[in-house]
Each structure stands twice: as structure tokens, then as C-alpha cells.
């Protein structure tokens, strides 16, 4: 194993999200809540960012929402409990080294690796209204590899949907390291490990997986009346047609929400009441809304404490810190790739 590139004693963690707009409960449970936990364990040096250039790979024709969405996502990060005093929170486009490393990694990344990425063809077909036959879209995984490797992290906490991308990042790093060596033969871009986020099944209001593209989400910012309203229309166990029909929480999307958000006591009441037709779905959904609001209210309260100028300042400051760390890696990369004139002088002088 290669030595870590810096002397910091804590293992480093890095992850990010595309700024798709306000985050929903699926984003929270599938990623953000886990990041907050990692941060608060105090064992890791944490970097979390907003991948605004990645949003351009699909939205290049209309970039107008990317900056406002980035601010919303940062507010959701802060509301969830990411803390600029404990984590480096930054914006990808404010750290130009992401582009530099992506360009350099692109030189040695075989086209076949990119064409084989499972999401590549899928997304081209699913987003058929957009022309995704672009260089940038194909190169998405190279940019992502650059985002990661630039910080030489030990772990990348992601959900299962991103696992293939991190695996490819490891291959890109391996190939780089086989071509170029750092000082004292050290690996310049160590291969990070995936830290798989346990993601509980989180259904949207229509019972399918909660996803922005299905329009079935509960937003982290939804106020209580909206949460209650959305739950009222949420699908339930289809076997429970009348109030007198018994139901089965294990076959009900509302039951799945209870499993994620409710206390064991509430769960017990749900199982008992549903199976015996002792409670109605309206009452059950009210309890689910209570449980959701216990999680969401503190997030919304914290979110409301930040003004827009403060959020911008947090991002600018975090990006400065990220920039300094990224530049450290890039110095090693440029040396290893012999892109510095000093390598010429040393070689000319018969140097080591
Ligand atoms: N691809 C990720 C997503 O769609 C976002 C992302 C970009 C990312 N670069 C990253 C995640 C680096 C982790 C590490 O959500
Ligand atoms: Fe679902 Fe609750 Fe209705 Fe049972 S009582 S079917 S768990 S909503």
C-alpha cells in the first residue's frame, strides 16, 4: 500500500452531489445523513462538495438553474448538520484543479471504459429530450475521478448507484500510477475505497422509489402541512380497500416510511392496528407525518438561520481550503507527469 500523501493523521473522506435543486428525503437518507454522521464521528478529515460542473453534462443548454440550485443544496447540507468548522464544504467550479486533473486523466482513459459505464447508455435513452451525445457527457466519469483523486481520499461514501463510478475511479488511478511515479516511487493517486451508504428502502408518494424524475418526493424543506398533505395522498397496501379490511405494513409504502422514521413503539402500534383493522390509514399516515417532522423540523430550523450571503461566504471559504489541498496534489501530479520545467533542469544537470 502507498503511503498517504499528507501527514494528517485522520483518514480522509470525500463525497459530493449534483445540484439538482432542493434535496428530498431520499437524498437525505441515501447520502447526506451518512455524511453528517461521518463528520460527527470526528475520526475523518471530511470534504463535501457540490458538483456544479457535473450538472452541465446534462443541462449545458440551459445552465440558468445551476447556481441557484447550488445554493439551495448547500443550505440543505447546512440544515442537515454539515458544519464548515468541521468539514471542508466547497463548490467544484471554484477549484479549477478539477478541470486540470480531468484533462490529464482523460489522456490515458480508454474510450471503452467510458462507453461501458452502465448509466451512460441508460441516461442517454431516459433523457431522450436532451442531446447527450457529447464529449462532456461521455467524460462524466473522468471528471468524477478527478473530483475524487484530487483530494487523495481514503474513502468515498456513496450510495449504491454511484458505486460503479468509484470503481472506475480506482481503475483510472491504477492506470495513472502505472504510467507515472511520484517522488520516492510513491503512488501519487492512491485508490480510494467505497464506503457504501446503507440505504433503507425509501418509497415516494406513489410507492415507487423516491426520485425527482418521478415527481413523488417529499422535500427536506417541505413545511409540515405539505408533508401531511403529501402523505394523505400516498398509496397504501392495496389489499386494504375499506376501513374494515386488515392490512399489512410490510406491503405498504407508508409502512416502509414508518420503518425508517418511527420509534419501535409507534411501529408496534402500526403493525397491531393495521393487521387488526384497529386503525385507519388516515390515522396511521398522521403518525408517519409526526415521525417525519421530528427529523425535518430541526433541519428546517437550522436551515432558516443562514442568509444567502452567509452561504456564499461559507462556500467561498471552503473552496479556498479545498483549492489549497487540491493544488498540493496537482504539484505532485505535474511533477510525476514531468510537466514542470524544473524536471528538465534537474535532468539536464544530471539530477536524480
Ligand atoms: N456522480 C455523483 C451524483 O450524481 C456526483 C459526484 C460528482 C460525486 N463527483 C463526485 C460523488 C465525487 C462522489 C464523489 O450524485
Ligand atoms: Fe399502510 Fe398504515 Fe394503512 Fe396499514 S394502516 S395499510 S401500514 S397506511
**Tens-place pLDDT, residues 26-43:** 999 999 999 999 999 999
pLDDT above 80 for 351: no
**Pocket flag, ligand 2, residue 249 (CB < 6 Å):** yes
Cβ-count burial of 336 within 10 angstroms (0-12 exposed, 13-18 middle, 19+ buried)?
buried
Per domain, the residue ranges of the chain are 12-202+308-350, 222-301
Predicted TM-score (pTM) of the model is 0.92
Is the Cβ–Cβ distance between 280 and 243 less than 8 Å?
yes
Label residues 260-290 b or e (16+ Cβ within 10 Å = b). Answer: bbbeeebbebbeebbeeeebbbeebbebbbe
Residue 3 pLDDT level (bands cut at 50, 70, 90): very low
Q: What is the dihedral of CA 64, 65, 70, 75, to 10 degrees?
A: 130
CA of 218 to the centre of ligand 1 (A): 22
pLDDT over 80 (residue 76): yes
Q: What would the pLDDT profile of 77-133 be if each residue is shown by its tens digit? A: 999 999 999 999 999 999 999 999 999 999 999 999 999 988 887 878 877 788 888
Higher confidence at residue 316 or residue 199? 316
CB of 274 closer than 8 Å to CB of 250: no
pLDDT attached to residue 190: 97
CATH architecture for the domain at 12-202+308-350 = 3-Layer(aba) Sandwich (3.40)
Give pLDDT, residue 346: 58
pLDDT at 5: 43
Structural contact between residues 84 and 124, judged by C-beta atoms closer than 8 angstroms = no
Q: Which residues pair with 260 in a beta bridge?
A: none
The number of beta carbons lying within 10 Å of the beta carbon of residue 16 is 24
Q: Which atom of ligand 2 is nearest to the CA of 237?
A: 6
pLDDT per residue over 229-288, tens digit each? Answer: 999 999 999 999 999 999 999 999 999 999 999 999 999 999 999 999 999 999 999 999
Mean per-residue pLDDT of the chain: 93
Pocket test for ligand 1, best of 69, 127, 141, 158 (most atoms within 8 A of CB): 158
262: CB partners within 8 A, 6+ apart: 270, 287, 288, 291
Report residues whose beta carbon is within 6 angstroms of any ligand 1 atom: 15-18, 51, 54, 144, 147-148, 156, 158, 162, 165
**Could you give the residue ranges of the DSSP H alpha helices within the chain?**
25-27, 33-40, 52-59, 66-80, 97-108, 111-115, 118-126, 135-138, 140-149, 163-179, 224-232, 253-261, 264-275, 281-303, 308-336, 341-348
Instruction: Give me ligand 2 centre to Cα 70, in Å.
Output: 37
Ligand 2, atom 4, lies closest to the CA of 274
Judged against a pLDDT cut of 90, whether residue 198 lies above it is answered with no
Q: Determine phi and psi for 89, rounding to 5 degrees.
A: -110, 120
Where does residue 314 rank: exposed (0-12), middle (13-18), buried (19+ CB within 10 A)?
buried
- Does the beta carbon of 284 sit less than 6 angstroms from any atom of ligand 2? yes
DSSP 43: S
What pLDDT was estimated at residue 8? 64
In the CATH hierarchy, which fold is given to the domain comprising 222-301?
Tyrosyl-Transfer RNA Synthetase (1.10.240)
Grid cell locating 131: 442531446
Whose Cα sits closest to atom 3 in ligand 2?
281
CA distance 255 to 91: 37
Q: Is 255 exposed, middle or buried (0-12, 13-18, 19+ CB in 10 A)?
A: buried
Average of per-residue pLDDT across 56-78: 96
Q: What is the pLDDT of residue 65?
A: 97
Q: Residue 183's pLDDT is what? A: 87
195 close to 35: Cβ distance less than 8 angstroms? no
Average pLDDT of 167-172?
98
Residue 245: predicted pLDDT: 96
DSSP helix/strand/coil, 17: strand
Q: Mutation test of ligand 1: which of 14, 17, 32, 120 has the most ligand atoms closer than 8 Å to its C-beta?
A: 17
Contacts for 224-228: CB closer than 8 Å, 24+ residues apart = 224/289, 224/293, 224/297, 227/289, 227/292, 227/293, 227/296, 228/286, 228/289
Side-by-side strand order, sheet with 45-50: 87-91, 45-50, 12-17, 155-158, 193-196
Bridge partners of residue 90, in order along the sequence: 49
pLDDT confidence band for 158 (50 / 70 / 90):
very high
Distance in Å, CA 26 to ligand 2 centroid: 21
CA of 237 relative to ligand 2 center, distance in Å: 6
Amino acid at each position: 500500500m502507498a503511503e498517504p500523501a499528507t501527514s494528517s493523521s485522520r483518514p480522509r473522506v470525500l463525497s459530493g452531489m449534483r445540484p439538482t435543486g432542493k434535496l428530498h428525503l431520499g437524498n437525505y437518507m441515501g447520502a447526506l445523513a451518512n455524511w453528517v454522521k461521518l463528520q460527527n464521528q470526528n475520526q475523518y478529515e471530511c470534504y463535501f462538495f457540490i458538483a456544479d460542473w457535473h450538472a452541465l453534462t446534462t443541462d449545458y443548454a440551459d445552465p440558468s438553474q445551476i447556481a441557484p440550485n447550488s445554493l439551495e443544496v448547500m443550505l440543505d447540507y447546512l440544515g442537515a448538520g454539515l458544519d464548515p468548522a468541521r468539514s471542508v464544504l466547497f463548490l467544484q467550479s471554484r477549484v479549477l484543479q478539477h478541470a486540470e486533473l480531468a484533462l490529464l486523466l482523460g489522456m490515458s482513459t480508454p474510450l471503452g471504459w467510458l462507453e461501458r459505464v452502465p448509466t451512460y447508455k441508460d441516461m442517454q435513452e431516459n433523457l431522450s429530450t436532451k442531446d447527450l451525445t457529447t464529449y462532456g457527457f461521455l467524460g462524466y466519469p473522468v471528471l468524477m475521478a478527478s473530483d475524487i483523486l484530487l483530494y487523495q481520499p481514503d474513502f468515498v461514501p456513496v450510495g449504491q448507484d454511484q458505486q460503479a463510478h468509484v470503481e472506475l475511479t480506482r481503475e483510472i488511478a491504477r492506470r495513472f500510477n502505472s504510467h507515472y511515479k511520484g517522488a520516492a516511487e510513491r503512488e501519487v493517486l492512491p485508490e480510494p475505497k467505497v464506503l457504501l451508504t446503507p440505504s433503507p428502502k425509501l418509497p415516494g408518494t406513489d410507492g415507487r422509489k423516491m426520485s425527482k424524475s418521478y415527481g413523488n418526493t417529499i422535500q427536506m424543506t417541505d413545511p409540515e402541512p405539505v408533508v401531511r398533505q403529501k402523505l394523505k395522498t400516498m398509496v397504501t397496501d392495496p389489499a386494504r380497500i375499506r376501513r374494515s379490511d386488515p392490512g399489512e405494513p410490510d406491503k405498504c409504502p407508508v409502512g416502509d416510511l414508518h420503518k425508517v422514521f418511527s420509534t419501535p413503539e409507534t411501529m408496534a402500534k402500526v403493525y397491531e392496528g393495521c393487521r387488526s383493522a384497529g386503525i385507519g390509514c388516515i390515522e396511521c399516515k398522521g403518525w408517519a407525518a409526526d415521525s417525519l417532522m421530528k427529523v425535518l423540523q430541526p433541519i428546517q430550523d437550522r436551515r432558516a438561520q443562514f442568509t444567502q450571503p452567509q452561504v456564499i461566504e461559507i462556500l467561498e471559504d471552503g473552496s479556498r481550503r479545498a483549492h489549497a489541498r487540491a493544488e498540493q496534489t496537482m504539484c505532485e501530479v505535474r511533477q510525476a507527469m514531468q510537466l514542470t520545467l524544473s524536471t528538465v533542469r534537474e535532468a539536464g544537470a544530471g539530477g536524480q
